[in-house]
Homo-oligomer: A and B are copies of this chain.
Amino acid sequence: MEVLAIDIGGTKIYCAKVNEHGKIVDEVKKYKTPQNKQEFETLLKEVIASYENSVIGVAISTAGAVSNENDRIIGSTGNMFKEYPTINFKSLTKLPVFVENDANSAAWAEYKIGASINTTVSVMLTLGTGVGGGIIINNRLLKGKSGAAGEMHFKMSMDKHRKCTCGSYDCFEAYASGTGLKVTAQEMSGNPNITTYDVVGGLQNNDKKMLEIFNRWEEDITDGVIGLANIFDPDVVVLSGSMAEYVDTEKIEKNVNSQIVTTPIKVRKATAGNYAGMIGAGLLALEAWRGEG
């Protein structure tokens, strides 16, 4: 039983067949994300058509919040073309289509085959250019009233210190993301041209200033995880995304557990791999279709 899983991001689209065990069973294909609706629909139709005879449906992991009916994008999606929320995914094929947000999909992959297997409550934070969130409670994704839950825009300061991409100020995302690390580095070094690469590279050379900047970034992540631990009392907080590899999860876990009022949590790195979004969407789709059938 295999599904075509498609991961749609702002710059790249990946696709591959995923089976019911959460394994990718053929070669992953990669495309540039078209920047207008017509080209996007044409590409997706072609891609899906080429798999149509060998899969039972299409599972899409996408940037942007996805409706509770798992069929459409709600609200605007930063890195995608403007009309993206108007895409009718179900019109692209006769196969069943299931859509879920990429951070939610990746969190589900961790829950089924990765770092949060057998947990009651898990929170996944995707630390990349931004910060994504996926929360699973009692075997179910937290979706909220409209499907948009899990946004990591809670404030770390009341001082309107740092503008966030969301339009407000001082959100966790504005500090804990890769972009956040860059801004922290700029503030702490006084160098407007410093990058996350400079910081991460400096760590390897034991550069004292870069270490100080990186530690501050880890403290900001720690502060955010403390709040999430007190709110959700999770078994585990999973860190994924391109920036997660640099993080000292043992240190964060220890510092979080010394400050929370709930019971101790685990902090772990994601283990489901780079294609967790596709895997999670595939597994969610199979569950949804089973439920309907």
Q: A157-B158, A228-B154 are in contact. Are A168 and B259 (CB under 8 A)?
A: yes
- Which of A5-13, A144-152, A203-211, A240-248 touches B? A144-152
Residue of B nearest to A168 (CB): B259
Nearest B residue to A148 via CB reads B262
Task: Flag A253-269 by CB within 8 Å of B: 1 or 0 each.
Answer: 00000011111000000
A120 to B149, CA, bound (A): 12
**Contact in complex: B158, A234 (CB < 8 Å):** no
A155 is an interface residue with CB less than 8 A from chain B: yes
Is residue A233 within 8 Å, beta carbon to beta carbon, of the partner chain? yes
- For residue A231, which residues in chain B have a CB less than 8 angstroms away from its CB? 133, 135, 149-152, 154, 228, 231
Q: Kindly state whether residue A23 has any CB partner on chain B within 8 Å.
A: no
Query: Which residue from chain B places its CB closest to the CB of A216 in the assembled complex?
Result: B158
- Cα of A224 to Cα of B172 in the assembled complex, Å: 12
Provide the residues of chain B in CB contact with A75, threshold 8 Å. 261-263
Chain B residues with Cβ below 8 Å from A153 are: 226-227, 230, 260-261
Listed in ascending order, the chain A residues whose CB lies under 8 Å from chain B are 65, 74-75, 119-121, 133, 135, 137-138, 140, 142-159, 166-168, 171, 175, 219-220, 223-224, 226-228, 230-235, 259-263
State the majority secondary structure of interface residues on A: loop
Q: Is the CB of B168 within 8 A of A226?
A: yes
Q: Supply 13 A–B pairs (Cβ within 8 Å), ascending by A.
A: A121-B144, A121-B145, A121-B149, A142-B232, A144-B234, A148-B233, A152-B230, A153-B260, A154-B154, A154-B227, A154-B228, A155-B156, A157-B159
Instruction: Report yes or no: A120 in contact with B133, Cβ–Cβ below 8 A.
Output: no
Which of B140, B226, B262 meets A155, CB within 8 Å?
B226
Which residues of the other chain, B, contact A148 by a CB distance below 8 angstroms? 233, 261-263
Could you tell me if A155 and B232 are in contact, using CB atoms closer than 8 angstroms?
no
Expressed in whole angstroms, the minimum distance between the Cβ of A155 and any Cβ of chain B is 5
Considering only CB atoms, which chain B residue lies closest to A167 in the complex?
B259
Instruction: Decide: B226 and A144 in contact? CB cutoff 8 A.
Output: no
